[in-house]
Amino acid sequence: MELQDYLKNVVQDIDLMIIRYFGHPYGPLQEASAHLLSAGGKRLRPAVCLLSADAVKEGSSFDVAPAALALELIHTFTLIHDDIMDHDAERRGVPTVHTLWDESTAILAGDVLYARAFEFLCRTPAPDNARVRAVTLLADTCNDICEGQYLDMSYEVRDDVTEVEYLDMVRKKTGALYAASAAIGAIMAGGKPMQVDALFQFGMSAGIAFQIQDDLIDLMAPSSVSGKDRASDIRQGKQTLVSIKAREAGIDLTPYRKTLSDPEMDALIARLETAGVIAEVREAAENILEHGRSVLTILPGSDERRLLFELGEYFVTRGS
């Protein structure tokens, strides 16, 4: 099967579950909880979860779809809360929850999805010990995600963030949930501890690489691809691998903290390319991904292993 077909199937399956369980909200709060969830999305964390389960299962296995949905619920809850903190008015082409309702409702809407994620983990028809391990890992992951978001916000008022600090933040903010997605898929499907560990490491690496590519997309891609204003990271003074490596190359991005015209933007990109910054950032993402893919070789050869490899490749090439 082609990766794009697999991903399309996942989107269909997850969207159907979302319609079934969240499509008939019984009041304004449940409606607010369902709003962003129902606004589409690539459902990449569920895809990682389902592929990981299929990559380790032997013979008949358990249906891990409820666990895959749980990971999308956690992702969505963090987006709803992050949008409040970042004062973002739009996401996935629709107004954010706190814009359409209010901040109090958005806090509660996120809290509802948070709860329902743990509910769906427990609904997964897997052995009890697998479900307890999955809940423990997801709880630990949520703690990491909060830490990551906190670090990301605290970096905005600094201009001396190091690469190590940046990678620590990205590991928590984005890597942890991809790592948990892969590991929870494997745990629920009855994977052996070594397989669960390998998939956790793969998810972590792929997630970090995904975020670095996201930063590149923000800089390079037109708004129509990124879904955001072009170079919003640079305008807001966000610390990314691009800004860190630019600083190391002697390029001061501070004067660019304003709305840039397209020609100004093109000149900046040309300057970063000439200094080798873009190539270095790309290489960093590829190296991190490569580490994750190398540990995957302990899994038996299968279509699903190949698709995980290709999914990693997609993470660092999308939008370019």
Write the CA distances from 15 to 8, 12, 18, 147, 264, integer angstroms. Answer: 11, 5, 5, 29, 41
| Cβ–Cβ < 8 Å for 188, 220 | no
Ranges within 225-284 binding a copy of itself (CB under 8 A): none
Nearest to residue 219, comparing CAs of 276, 280, 266, 165? 266
Q: Nearest approach, Cβ of 25 to a copy of itself (angstroms)?
A: 11
Considering only 53-61, 89-97, 144-152, 293-301, which stretch makes contact with a copy of itself by CB under 8 A? Answer: 144-152
Q: Does 28 bind a copy of itself (CB under 8 A)?
A: yes
55 binds a copy of itself (CB under 8 A): no
Contact assessment for residue 211 and residue 242, using Cβ atoms and an 8 Å cutoff: no
Pick the closer one to a copy of itself by CB: 148 or 203. Answer: 148
Chain centroid, CA 127 distance in Å:
27
Which letter does DSSP use for residue 190 in this model?
A: T
Crossing angle for the helix pair 44-56 and 3-22, to the nearest 10 degrees: 110
- Cβ-based nearer residue to a copy of itself, 96 or 149: 149
CB of 143 to a copy of itself, least distance (A): 5
Quick check: 142 binds a copy of itself (CB under 8 A)?
A: yes
Pick from 2, 27, 258, 261 the residue near a copy of itself by CB under 8 A. 27
Closer Cβ to a copy of itself, 19 or 132, answer by number = 132
Measured between alpha carbons, how far is 77 from 189 in angstroms, rounded to an integer? 25
Between residue 119 and residue 138, which ones bind a copy of itself under the rule CB under 8 A?
119, 121-123, 127-129, 131-132, 135-136, 138
Size of the site for a copy of itself (CB under 8 A): 42
Residue 32: CB minimum distance to a copy of itself, A: 9
Backbone torsions φ then ψ of 95, nearest 5 degrees: -60, 145
Of 126 and 311, which CB lies nearer to a copy of itself in the complex structure?
A: 126
Distances from the Cα of 33 to the Cα of 108, 242, 261, angstroms: 8, 34, 37
**Nearest distance, CB of residue 145 and a copy of itself, angstroms:** 8
**DSSP sequence for 36-100:** HHTT----HHHHHHHHHHHHH--SS----HHHHHHHHHHHHHHHHHHHHHHT--EETTEE-HHHH
Closest to a copy of itself by CB, 15 or 147: 147
Q: 145-184: which residues touch a copy of itself (CB under 8 A)? A: 146-147, 149-150, 153-154
Q: Which of residues 61-120 bind a copy of itself (CB under 8 A)?
A: 81, 84-85, 103-105, 107-108, 110-112, 114-119
Distance spanning both ends of the chain, measured CA to CA: 24
Contact between 310 and a copy of itself by CB under 8 A: the answer reads no
The Cα–Cα gap between 251 and 80 comes to 34
Least Å from the CB of residue 109 to a copy of itself:
8
State the residues that interact with a copy of itself by CB under 8 A.
27-29, 81, 84-85, 103-105, 107-108, 110-112, 114-119, 121-123, 127-129, 131-132, 135-136, 138-143, 146-147, 149-150, 153-154
